[in-house]
Every structure is written in structure tokens, then in C-alpha cells.
Chain A
Amino acid sequence: MLTRARDKVGWPALTLLLLLALAPLVVRGVSEQGILVQAMIYAVGAVGLDVLTGYSGQFSFGQFVYFAIGAYVMAAVRVNGHWPWLPAIIAGVAASTLVAAVIGSLFVRLRFFGSAVGTFFLGAVAVDLISGSRLSHWTGGSNGLAVLPVTIGANSLSTGDWLYYTVWIALALSVAVCLRYTKVRAGRAARVVKENEVVAAVLGVRVFREKVRAQALAGAVAGLAGCMLALEVGYLSPDTFGISQSIELFAIVAVGGTGSIVGPILGAVFFFSMVNGLASTSASSSQLLFSLVVLVVVVLFNGGLYDLLEKGTRKLLGLRRSDAGAHKKDAQVAGRAQAERTEPVAAAAVAEPLSGALAESPATVSFAQPSADRARVRTGPPLLELAGIGVDFGGVRALDAVDLTVGRGEVHAIIGPNGAGKTTLLNCISGIQPATGRVVLDSDDLTSLPVSVRRARGISRTFQHPALVADLTVLQNVEVGAYETHNGSAVLEMAGLPGTRRRDRVARDRAVHALELLEFPRERWDVHAGELTMGEQKHIDIARALASEPKLLLLDEPTAGLGEEEIGAVANAIEGVRRAGVTVLVIAHHVGFVRRIADACTVLDFGRVLTSGTAGEVLADDQVVDVFVGAGRKS
């Protein structure tokens, strides 16, 4: 559950759709075809639920609310408004999309558990409303509502092959739209949101909006599924859209495997074959068996049917899990994009070509020798000015009137013992942590601005625990950080217009550039981030932050937990960043590392600035040594 989301499901999806298209040639029985029709109808909605759960990390135990809206709106506008059937279906889908967006924007504030409960609740409320008297003019109340027959020529879409292929088309449409969503920027951004919302926000992703988008998409396909259900049953009653159906739909997705698009379709076929296969014995015993299967799958086979199939196929073909071959094509594309780059990227803070000077041996983190020829004090107006920053956590004063000035182009280190407020200070600068005092970047007062705007003004950061999306490749991870803004319409993105294509290309160029600047080995670009070492992850985190071409890069303990050699690599990377003209504010514990990279250094202790100056001065300060080593050292 929620473990991974897959990218390469296009071929499996197409295969499954073709099999379903050909199935009526083999499956001749009317009742057997009926089972497949029902399964495909549920699958239309299940695919959307998978996008919501597997790709954006949200829960819904109330998808049948949107099934109901699609079905009832379609039926009602045809009965009351005499609409033709196609516009009626479009109206149904539009209504469910709209309601899903509105309700989604209420529920996304509740985090994953709250929205699970909220949607469950909503499912129950919807049944009450549909069967109650208040809406009975449109819904027919508990009496239900007849669906007018839909015909093309003399053929009824409600029976036989016509029904089968109408539903098949709906499924194909749903799969196509959902697959497309997972490939565009919005879908990738949603996966960062799933991984970690704070990190996503710092990367410029509009967290709230992306979550609502996934809700709306899931609602839209659920509405379409509702319309198909209306065609099939021919008569709408509140019982068709209860909370048990919603929960069953979720169970279908869980059994089929989240994050795979194809899995939920398999799950639906499995569910209906099983329920109907056993229906002759007893309806409730087939329910019992299904819920047992769900429980067994969730406890023992976390990834569901799709994962089992995938592993089985791999074993059969003798492939290993990290299929380097499949990724090769992407690497070539990346290389070509880089080669085709004719004009420099606008405002290219990073656009300096690599110099050979980075070739310094990575293993030489020396405790003794600071680089002698470094311009220790920069002139000109400072880039970042903090004045009187204060933060309270309950009774604890985490930061107390912190003033800090970071010069343009310098590498400024923040050191201090655990709990000194170092990370909190970075949070204040990037806008995650509300604080008193003023934050000024490049004479631009950012104090009251939210995270996304601060990023747009040129602040970018990394985290102590790099929250990379494990199931995206290195390059894809960096690309998410490379978009200038994450604004814009997801519908246009999915349409693949030239404007959005250009935008994707620019992001890719910036990502490629950042990776090159940090000298991340090209053969590792197409590895899934989940397979990287800790050192590599830290490296990619820096690249992802750098790809937005910031003025100021905030690094939160880039060396924590790394070995000597990896620390050297990070130091090299930071020197590369500095040469590109980006100012760096870095939290570090490693004195040798600070000595090597830092121009200036500030010491925090108990939320206050202890001292500030050039790295050499600060590290020689007796007070500082006391804080770090303890007062007894002189004896």
C-alpha cells in the first residue's frame, strides 16, 4: 500500500485493454459478458482512485458519491431537460468533477487519515440525501429514477455488444487520461507531494492545488463510471451507491495493486468473477471470501496482484529488478536535449560551463588547511539579511532575535550544537516556519511571503533527510525541482501543447545542467532514486534544489551521516555551486568540511548568535571551542 508508483505501465495497460476488447469472441455467455461489463464499469472508477491513492497519496472511501453524481445528473437532465445522451454524459462527468474539486479542496486539509474518514462519511451522507425527500424532485428519492434508453440508430447501448463496447471505450478513455496524467508535470509533482508535502512546497509545487487536481481527476472518471453504471442497470436507486460499494472499490484497488493503473482493472475483473462465480452458492459467502482475499493480500502481498504478476514475469524472463536496459533510452533523450540546447537558459545562474578545477581528489577533506587564496570577505550589498528572527515552540524559545547577513556569492556556514535552532532558522528563511523579524533577499522584503513565492524570488533548499521520490529516476527527481513555476493548467499539460512541451524541455535542460555541474555520474541518471546510496541521495537533493537556478541555496546538513569520501564529494559540489555564482548557506557539523568550503561562519547556541565572522576566526574562537568541545579542554 502506498509503497511505489510505476511509470512503465503503458504496454501492460494496452495489452489488458486489447484482451478485454477481444474477450467477447471467447466469452460468449450473456451472464459472463455481464460480469466483464460490471468489472469494466468499476474499473473505470478504480483507475481514477488509483491515481488518487497510488500516485498522489490520498485516500477516498467515498468514490461512489461521484459515481452517483455522474449517474443521477446524466439521468436527470435527460428526463427533466430532454437532453441528448452524449451531452447528458458530459454534464454528468462535469458535475462530478466539479463536486470532487470542491469537496476535495475541503478534505485535502485533513491529511491522509482525516480525508479517509471524511470521504467515508460523505459516502453515507450522500445516500441519505439521495434517498431523502429534499432532492426527490431530481433523484426520485427512495423510489429511484428510471434511466431513459440510449440508442444509436436501432441499437440500444444498454444491452449486448453495444453496451460492452461502450463501457470498453469509457475504460480505455479513463486509462488513457490517467496514464497521461502520471506522465506530465502535474502527475510527477503529485508524487513528490505523496512523498513529503513540505519538500514539495519548497520545490515550488502548489501542494494544495495538485492534491485537488488528483481529486478532480478521480472524481471525473468516477462520474463517467457512474454514467456507464446508469446505462447498464437502467434504473437508479440509492442502494446502488452505498458506502459498501465505495469500500469495495477501494478494496479492488488494494487487491489489484496501487500505483499501477493496470492493477485496479485486474482487481475489478477478479472481484466480479469471484462474486458472481460463487453467487450460485450464496451472495454473502462470496462477500466473505472476497474480504478474506483482501485481508490476505493487504497483509501478505503488499503490492497486490499487479506486483505479483510483475515479479512473476520478471522471474520468467530472467530479468533483474534494476533493469538498466529499459532506462537507456531516457538517458539518450536527456543527452540529446542537452546537445540541442541552443540558447542559454534565461537568468542562467548556473549556466557556467564546468571547469576542470573540480577534479580535486574527493578524499581530501583536511582538518588543517583552509584554501589560502579565497576572497574571505566579499564587497557589495549583502544578498540575505535577517533581522530579529524569533520563533517560539510553546515555552521554548527556539530562535531569539537572530541577525544574520550573508554576502553575495559567499559560502556561509552555520554551526552549533544540537537543538541550537539551525534547521529552524533555515525553515524561517524558506518560509516553512512562521517567525517574527524580517527576511530580506537582495533588498526584496520576503517577510510576509509564502513558500512558493520565496522560491520564485530565488530561495531553494535541501533537507536533512532528502525526500526523493523513490520510484522516479534521478533525472526525473531533479526535473521536478527545475520548473520555474509549478503554476498552470493540468488540462493543457495533458493536451501536450507546444507551450507546455517547451516548458518541460527547459526544465529538463536545467535538470541536466544541474546534474552536470555537480558531476553526478551520467550512468546513474536513470536509476530509481530508491536505489541510491545516502551520499548520492544528498547529492541529488542538492542538484534538485540547484536546478531551480536560485540566488540563495540553503543546505541542511549535507554531510550528516556520510563517510569521509562522500563528504569530500559534497564539498566539491558546493565549490562548483559557488563558482556558478550561487550564494550558499549551509548547516554543518564537520569542522574540516566547514574550514574547507566556508567563507564566513555563524555559530548558533540556544537560539542565539554566539559569534559570526570568517570561518578561520570563528573556528579559532575560544567561546566556540567551549561550546563544541567543552570547557575542560584547556587543562
Chain B
Amino acid sequence: MGLAISVIVSGIAFGLLIGMLAFILVFLYKTTGVANFAVGNIGMFETFIVYELWKNGMGLWPAAGVGLVCSAVFGVLIYQLVLRPFGGNQANTLVRTVALFLLLAAMADVFFGQDQPYHFPSLLPTGGTKVGGVLLRWSDLITVGIVLVIVTGFVAMFRWTRLGLQFLAVAQRPETARLLGVRAQRLSTIAYMLAGCLALLIGLLLAPKQLLFSQMMNPILLFAFAAAVVGGFTSLGGTFVGGIIIGVVTDLVTTYVGSDLTLASALAIMLLTLAVRPNGLFGTAQVRRL
């Protein structure tokens, strides 16, 4: 029983990371119209940059700080150089993100990957505390805290800032928002800037747990897609609930059934959701005009 509870607790912590990646997916989907297949690899590549800085003698925290600035720039570059030029239709943009997914993995292999995988130092304290016989890891608890802070920040932004309001407007009715004077491209640029930073954060939290290598984000990207679908692809808050569900279930499956069915269980949850509630737990149906 103690094992089950600690599996569930670590599942929740991992689920929040999944939820954060899913949040980026949905946030980009709502503001730019396309979910980005490359978000995971964006985070992976940025984590490699931090790793290189650290390896070359910089302190871990300063390296993370520099990395965060780089990530913001990186996000902007990706939007301006890859996604914006000759703005294609939805399908074209989706394929661009897939090409970016390939490109970032190949770049990581060529520039940093000679001896991968690498051990990545943890930013968070190791060890933990026992509560009622259940081990709670500090890293898990701090992860929960970080995610809560970020969610609060975004909620505050959406509720009380002009920028947040514009994001919501674009997410609801892109055309109308544009006609009312919202500068959609500037907004998309900012969205990618934020997404770049969040992606680095995920990379930094994930890399110490599971080594640093060019393919490290593939499983969590899949989990994030599943979480986004479970939460309803249009609901920002739902992604975290979806993330926790996926995190806990896959953790339990890995522990009690076998790791070869971990991904399959996430896929099954996703398909089940779509069969029972096609718009996810919190999504809303979209009315199409003919």
C-alpha cells in the first residue's frame, strides 16, 4: 500500500510536468492555431545549452538563468524564421513543426550528442521526507510548487493584464480579435517566447530524472498529447487534470504491469476519452459555419 501511495505521489509530480507540456501545446494551439510537435525538442535543445554552459564552468543556477534568456530568444526565432514566413495553412504549419522536430533532434546529435546520454545535475535538493510511512521526495514537492506558481501566474495574466485579455480574445475568435485591432503576430511571437521558457523549465526538471539525450522528450510529448486530449484540446486548465490522470495511470501501469505497456495505456486512455467524450473532460464543442 505504501508503495502504491508513493507511486501515485510521484505520478502526480510527473503528471504536472506532462500537464505543463500539454499546457504549452494547447496554449500555442489556441493562440497560433497549430499545436507544435516540436515543443518537446525545443525544451531538449535548450536544456543542452544549459548543460554546455555548466560543463564549461558556469554555475548551475547562472547557467539556467542564461538558458532562460536564450530560450525566450529561441522561441521568438522559431516563430519568426520557421512558422511565420509565407504563412501556410494549418496542415502546412503542422508539417513545419514536424520538420522542426527532426531538425532539433539532428542538431542536438551533431552539436552536443557525441557521448550522450549525459547525467544532468539536479537543480532541486535530493532526498525527501516521510509522511505517515510514505516517502515524499523534495524534488516532487518542489515540482508541484513550481507548477502551481506558473499556473497562478498565467491565471493572473489572463485575468488582469491587457496582454492576457488579448490572448483570450485571439483564442476565442481569432478573426474578430484581429479586426478589433489585436496584433496577432506580435501575440504569437510572445506566445512562442513564453513557450520557449516553459519548455526549458520542463527540460531542467526532467533531465536529472531520466538523463539528457536528443530523444529524451519523445515519451513525455506523447503523454502530453494524451493529456491535452483528455483535458479537452481547448481547455488550458484541463491539461493539468489530464496530465495528472495520465501521469498516475502510466506510473501505476509501469510499476504493476510492465513498462512495455506504459505508452499503450496512455494511448488507451486517450482513445477511451475520445470515444466517451469527444471534446475531452473540459473542452467545448466547436460550431462550424457552412
Contact = CB atoms under 8 A, between A and B. Distances in A.
Interface in B78-113: 82, 85-86, 88-92, 94-96, 98-103, 105-107, 109-110, 113
A61 interface: yes
Contacts, number: 135
B88 A1 contact: yes
Given A133-B258, A247-B98, 9 more contacts: A61-B98, A112-B90, A113-B90, A124-B222, A250-B98, A251-B98, A291-B99, A291-B103, A299-B85
Contacts of B271: 106, 118
A393 B289 CA distance: 12
A375 interface: no
Interface of B: 35, 37, 82, 85-86, 88-92, 94-96, 98-103, 105-107, 109-110, 113, 218-219, 222, 225-226, 229, 258-264, 266-267, 270-271, 274, 278, 287-288, 290
Given A61-B98, A121-B226, A288-B109, A295 B103 contact: yes
A198 B106 CA distance: 41
A302 interface: yes
A464 interface: yes
A284 B88 contact: no
B101 A247 contact: yes
A124 B106 CA distance: 19
A120 B274 CA distance: 16
A129 to B, nearest CB: 7
B96 A295 contact: yes
A251 B91 contact: no
A534 interface: no
19 contacts: A2-B89, A2-B92, A113-B35, A113-B94, A114-B274, A116-B94, A121-B267, A125-B267, A132-B258, A134-B258, A134-B261, A251-B98, A285-B110, A291-B102, A298-B92, A299-B82, A300-B86, A302-B86, A302-B92
A463 B88 CA distance: 25
B260 A129 contact: yes
Given A110-B274, A121-B267, A464 B98 contact: no
A251 B88 contact: no
Interface of A: 1-2, 59, 61, 106, 109-110, 112-114, 116-118, 120-122, 124-125, 128-129, 131-134, 198, 243-244, 247-248, 250-251, 254, 282, 284-285, 287-288, 290-292, 294-295, 298-300, 302, 393, 423, 427, 432, 463-465, 556
A295 B270 CA distance: 30
Query: What DSSP secondary structure best describes chain B's contact surface?
Result: helix
Nearest to A250: B98
Given A1-B91, A299-B82, A464-B290, A125 B99 contact: no
B99 A251 contact: yes
B36 to A, nearest CB: 12
A128 B260 contact: yes
A299 B85 CA distance: 7
Contact of A427 (B89, B258, B290): B290
A287 B110 CA distance: 9
B161 to A, nearest CB: 28
A125 B226 CA distance: 13
Contacts of A427: 290
A141 to B, nearest CB: 9
A76 B86 CA distance: 48
Nearest to B223: A121
B103 A109 contact: no
